[in-house]
Chain A
């Protein structure tokens, strides 16, 4: 049998013990923090705990996926249980190849990692973007620039679509009005914070029951949370 190697970035003793047992026969190398891991030369399969002492695993995945030197790594994110479909979807949308709530079933965990290695091989990952974001009945296609709730198409202006996409890519994170003006409006800050509020109101109303998922935070920003 081929011997595989994996880097495991976790500070949790329980996770380490699980990985050693479930991945018996693998060459495992452990790093207790993102900082220690980044001093190495990352290659192949990387298993990342969502809660690292110095960084969130989700941020580390985004950083690795965003750099051309590390974009081809196989990235597996592990979160504290119980399993949440929203956390799993978000992890995959943010660039992880697999997501597991800990502790997963050891046999299933091993089988899925072996499949991943066999299909893609370390370093063979193409930079893929999800063809469609799906949150319950809400579906968004970045390619076709369409959104729908159930069978009904949601009619959005180009700006509203960009706003919705930005929220989806940053689920669970506080997004300030300034950042929305910079990243979504693009022409800069001239539009002003009131323009953001008005457009968010319009987007909420067009999204029907999903509109309430865009919540106001402390009166200065927004968060898209399921």
Chain B
């Protein structure tokens, strides 16, 4: 909650207090020590936390691994090695092979790519929808607000998983792009509510009124005054949204409603590996490990971001 309040207020009172202010009115007082701007302040706080660096480095390594890994590996994800079926990790097949001889290392990399792409698109996309819907509803009020809130509530009560199960025959043959859109489409509602309530209070602030009385059109007011003032919230939501989207994708795929064969994602790999988790653990352990490390790294970044933006949360609290 304090996070929400903070986005409205000036950031980090203690830091601001320390900075000397220019003296005198209209006296060109030379270049005094400039108080830091909010963006720089957040960046400074962010870079001071070790969690951020751990998360950033790990996610950087994972991205590099997923993108560049296949270039330095002889096997592709779908080719079969009939001589080495159901083999454990060896020098030849680093993560082993599955029962039909496909190389698990190559498959994990491809699956990781897919999961990352879906997560990195669906997370920010959900935030974008939330920002647009939330700010429009909060700013316009009246009928528009009521209709949009009604839609938000409807989507919130609809169980998205069951909906997907019902709709899954329609998705057959459609690409992963639809899955991404679907995940984004069901992940923005809570944030939209938050943005809406923030907008409602910002809307009555004098600087927004001033813009309105100047004749600034609504989209410009939203883009110039409203969204930047909730931006820190949105950035955090987008980051944590990546985690949620990857999780959603893997669980959907795990149950067979997301990515389907021949496409591979971490979810489908896990689904295949579960049954053999005891007998041939490498089929399960490697994709699961990749998933956990990825989620953990992104979560660390999101967490560090939240602490940097909100001086009253977590480590900043006395």
Chains A and B belong together in one complex:
no
